[in-house]
Amino acid sequence: MTDVLTLNEVAGALGIHHRTALRWVQAGRLQGYKTPGGHWRVTRAALAQADLSAAEFAALVGVHKLTVRRWCEAGKLVCHKSAGDRGHWRIPMSEVLVVGARSASTLVAARGAGRPKGGSK
């Protein structure tokens, strides 16, 4: 396995379109570099260091952003609060790679049970 990824490989790993990966690199949200041939590359280390907002993470795994907030508060996700007054939850890109796109049920199963199924009294 190589430590350098193409934008298509980054997009596949994150479950996003390759143009989104390109926009993230061009905007500086994801650190990458151009090869002499003009192709973009991203290192695995740079991918692991990038962060997503709770809303972006929620869209990738197919759940509501408030669900992601609850997971962060319960310790089911590796999260941190952003600096500043508002302190929004940020999720490391490495967590997306662990969880995988569109696999919220895998997250709950791997990190501990959520609410019990069925009615409560």
What is the CATH number that goes with domain 50-113?
1.10.1660
Exposure string (b/e) for 81-94, b if CB count within 10 Å is 16 or more?
eeeeeeeebbbbbb
Q: Which pLDDT band holds residue 31 (cuts at 50, 70, 90)?
A: very high
> How much is the pLDDT for 117?
42
Q: Give the tens place of pLDDT for each residue, 76-105.
A: 888 888 887 677 888 887 777 666 654 544
* Domains 1-49 and 50-113 alike in fold: yes
CATH class of 1-49: mainly alpha
Please state the three-class secondary structure of 5-68 as a single string. Answer: EEHHHHHHHHCCCHHHHHHHHHHCCCCCEECCCCCEEEEHHHHHHCEEEHHHHHHHHCCCHHHH
pTM as predicted: 0.66
pLDDT of 119 over the 60 cut: no
CA distance 54 to 98: 16
Distance of CA 1 to the CA centre of its chain: 21
